[in-house]
Chain A
Amino acid sequence: MVNITQKEALIIKDIWKRLSKEAITAQALERVFTVYPWTTRLFGSFNHHFKATDAGVQGHARKVAGALETAVAHLDGLDKAFHDLSKKHQTIGVDTQNFKLLGQTFLVELAILFKDGFTPEVHEAAYKFFLAVAGALSSQYH
């Protein structure tokens, strides 16, 4: 169980506010598809087009960014907030490990964006956020 402290919640909300949300999500997706190619498994419809600027990735980035927006607003009740989304991902057949991999590439994009501003404290808050989101998305798998 990931325990996000009040201080970390503030850091998470602050970072999220400063992001070009869909753009950075698209970049994180391009990175996850490149670094961990098995994550492309269920994206055959993208026809091997996995760059951030490609239409498929942009479309998916919009959905993911929207879900993360919801997550940031519900840090105290993530499992509940993602109840249906979790079921949906199992129906689609997504390996839950993918959520952690996208979390990692998102951290890398944040590190590139904020540089020294991505202090160990901020890094930890962001890491816990994505871990909590991954957990919530996995919570209804059976």
Chain B
Amino acid sequence: MVLSEANKLAIQNVAAHIKSETAILGADALARLFELHPQTKTYFPSFKSYHAADPKVIAHGTKVFDALVKATEHLDDLPHHLDKLAKKHGHELLVDPHNFVLFSDIIVVTLALHLTSFTPATHTAIDKFLEEVGYQLSSKYR
């Protein structure tokens, strides 16, 4: 996966815009994932509810989006940067990698909703970025 300079700029621009709102965006994205793909709730049996206002949904959503923002600071060495998280997902959490694809599409819609602008060019850059992140997170399963 090669990110062009234009892709990287677009990704970093989005990151700058969402940096201070990872809780809101993360909770929204996660709630939408649970709504559209109920099977994803099976990974969180301890949650009391799966709506965006739930404290556990907010906590986990924040964690995910903080990690995504951090990853945008390492666009030139994503495999190395995500190595630890890849091992966590592949050896410990064992989340079916297909869920990264499902979640990526939802994150895209969530960003489109919240950002003031989400042009096809920005959308492409983000889609490529999320695809790479998902690919890296899937890389230590077998």
Write the residues of chain A forming the contact surface with B, with a CB cutoff of 8 angstroms. Answer: 30-31, 34-35, 104, 107-108, 111-112, 115-116, 118, 120-121, 123-124, 127
Cross-chain contact of B35 among A104, A111, A124 (Cβ < 8 A): A124
Q: Which B residues lie within 8 Å of A116 (CB)?
A: 113
Give the segment of B39-47, B66-74, B120-128 that binds chain A: B120-128
Knowing A120-B31, A120-B35, A123-B32, the reply to whether A104 touches B120 (Cβ < 8 A) is: no
Q: Is the CB of A35 within 8 A of B123?
A: yes
**Contacts A112-B118, A118-B113: A35 and B35 contacting too (C-beta < 8 A)?**
no
CB of B85 within 8 Å of the partner chain: no
Which B residues have a C-beta under 8 Å from some C-beta of A? 28, 31-32, 35-36, 51-52, 105, 108-110, 112-113, 118, 120-121, 123-124, 127
Question: Contacts A104-B105, A120-B31 known; A111 to B120 CB distance under 8 Å?
Answer: no
A34-B109 in contact (CB<8A): no
**Considering only CB atoms, which chain A residue lies closest to B29 in the complex?**
A120
Given A112-B112, A123-B36, 20 new contacts (CB under 8 A)? A30-B120, A31-B120, A31-B123, A34-B120, A104-B108, A107-B109, A108-B112, A108-B123, A111-B112, A111-B113, A112-B113, A115-B113, A118-B113, A120-B32, A120-B35, A121-B35, A123-B109, A124-B32, A124-B36, A127-B36
> Interface residues of B: mostly helix, strand, loop or mixed?
helix
User: Contact: B105 with A123, CB < 8 Å?
Assistant: no
Q: Is the interface of A mostly helix, strand, loop or mixed?
A: helix
14 A-B pairs with C-beta separation under 8 A: A31-B120, A31-B123, A34-B123, A35-B127, A104-B108, A108-B109, A118-B109, A120-B32, A120-B35, A120-B36, A123-B35, A123-B109, A124-B35, A124-B36
B124 touches A34 (CB 8 A): yes
CB distance from B27 to the nearest CB of A (A): 11
Q: Which residues of A contact B31 (CB under 8 A)?
A: 120
A92 to chain B, nearest CB (A): 24
Give the docked Cα–Cα distance between A20 and B33 (Å): 28
Inter-chain CA distance A35–B31, complex, in Å, is 25
Q: Which residue of A lies closest to B121 (CB)?
A: A34
Contact between B109 and A111, CB atoms less than 8 A apart: yes
Measured CB to CB, the closest approach of chain A to B102, in angstroms, equals: 11
Q: Are A35 and B120 in contact, with the CB atoms below 8 A?
A: yes
CA distance A120 to B52 in the complex (A): 9
Looking at the assembled complex, report how far the CB atom of B110 sits from the nearest CB atom of chain A, in whole angstroms.
8
Docked CA distance A31–B120 (Å): 5
Which single residue of chain B is at the shortest CB-CB distance from A32?
A: B120
